[in-house]
Amino acid sequence: MKKFCYVIGLFVCFALLNVELGMAQEKAGGYNKDSVYPVNEAYKMFKKTVWRRIDLEEKQNAPFFSRNGELSTILINAVKAGLLFPYTNDSVNTRMSKETFLENMKFEDEGGGLTQEEIDMGFGADAEDDFFGGGGDEGEEPEEEIIDTNEFATRDFSIAELKEEVYFDRMRSRIFYDIQSITLFLPADKNPALFEKPLASFKYKDLVALWRSMPDEAIWYNAQNMAEHRNMADAFNLRLFGSNLTKIANPRDDRIVDIYTKSRRDAILASKQLEYDMVEFENELWEF
């Protein structure tokens, strides 16, 4: 009789566990469609969304910013070639039109050009003197070169903001970092308007597919051993970048710098402390 009751008890426990797991899966809605390595939401015991700022001009991030192989150059050229879709923000739900993207690459024309006095002196394309850029051999059409001088260089966009989910997988008993999107910014010191200008956001899932399709261009440049270059997808997966934590999801959507307003130094120290707290949290999970 006791054995029968024990079997019945186990059966009830497993039934309740299956019901609870099924309800959790239904509530969670399955899998994150923007994840490169999707995990069922029911398996995530703990989850936070964080944002990290990557300065591509820092020494640690130089391999992502090699000459003519810059992360920003690859992304911008891919959009222009129709190989990559830009989005309006890091939620990556609304696509940005190509026209808007190209417009975001431009800076406002502050005037300039030649004055009438300079034109009268012979400067400009209409001048007849060869030395000043006009004239040329009779009957010879000047070579036309299309250069948009009102557009920032691709290398100018040297700030990348990474949005990712940090979660503890109860099935594998460890924390994972699941990158969702990357947003490119123009630094304030390169913008005449003196503020960090967002260019566009990109689905990280799309970026991985893009980088994998161009193994000879999208490389993490290993200056110490050129035989060990890495594809950018692998470099991000191995977390070879250096970054600062800028925001942890909160009800007011405040950034760390908005919370610690005493000084920029305090905000940086708070960012590092929050980073250490997350690592400590993972270590303490094993003590429960």
The predicted-structure confidence for 29-76, as pLDDT tens digits, reads as follows 599 999 999 999 999 988 999 999 999 999 999 999 999 999 999 999
pLDDT confidence of residue 256: 87
pLDDT confidence of residue 132: 38
Q: Which amino acid is at 89?
A: N
pLDDT confidence of residue 19: 41
Would you say residue 180 has pLDDT above 50? Answer: yes
pLDDT confidence of residue 93: 96
Question: Which residue did the predictor score with more confidence, 269 or 157?
Answer: 157
Q: Taking the CA atoms of 234, 238, 244 and 246 in sequence, report the sign of the dihedral they define.
A: positive
Would you say residue 268 has pLDDT above 80? Answer: no
> What stretch of H or E contains 72?
helix 71-80
Number of DSSP helices (H) and strands (E) in the chain, helices first: 8, 7
Give the C-alpha separation, 4 to 1, whole Å. 5
Mean pLDDT of all residues in 143-148 = 47
pLDDT confidence of residue 117: 55
Closest CA to 45 of 63, 64, 68, 28: 28
Q: And the tokens for 42? A: 């029911």
Would you say residue 131 has pLDDT above 50? Answer: no
In percent, how much of the chain has pLDDT > 90? 59
Q: Are 212 and 236 in contact (CB under 8 A)?
A: no
Give the C-alpha separation, 19 to 25, whole Å. 10
Would you say residue 20 has pLDDT above 70? Answer: no
Question: Which residue did the predictor score with more confidence, 234 or 27?
Answer: 234
Tokens 């830009």 correspond to 86
pTM value?
Answer: 0.75
Mean pLDDT of all residues in 249-261 = 87
pLDDT confidence of residue 287: 63
pLDDT confidence of residue 286: 66
pLDDT confidence of residue 29: 59
pLDDT digits (tens, 9 = 90+) for 88-118: 999 999 999 999 999 999 986 554 445 555 5
Q: Which amino acid is at 137?
A: D
Q: And the tokens for 238? A: 């191995």
Would you say residue 133 has pLDDT above 50? Answer: no
pLDDT confidence of residue 270: 81
Q: And the tokens for 175? A: 């924390």
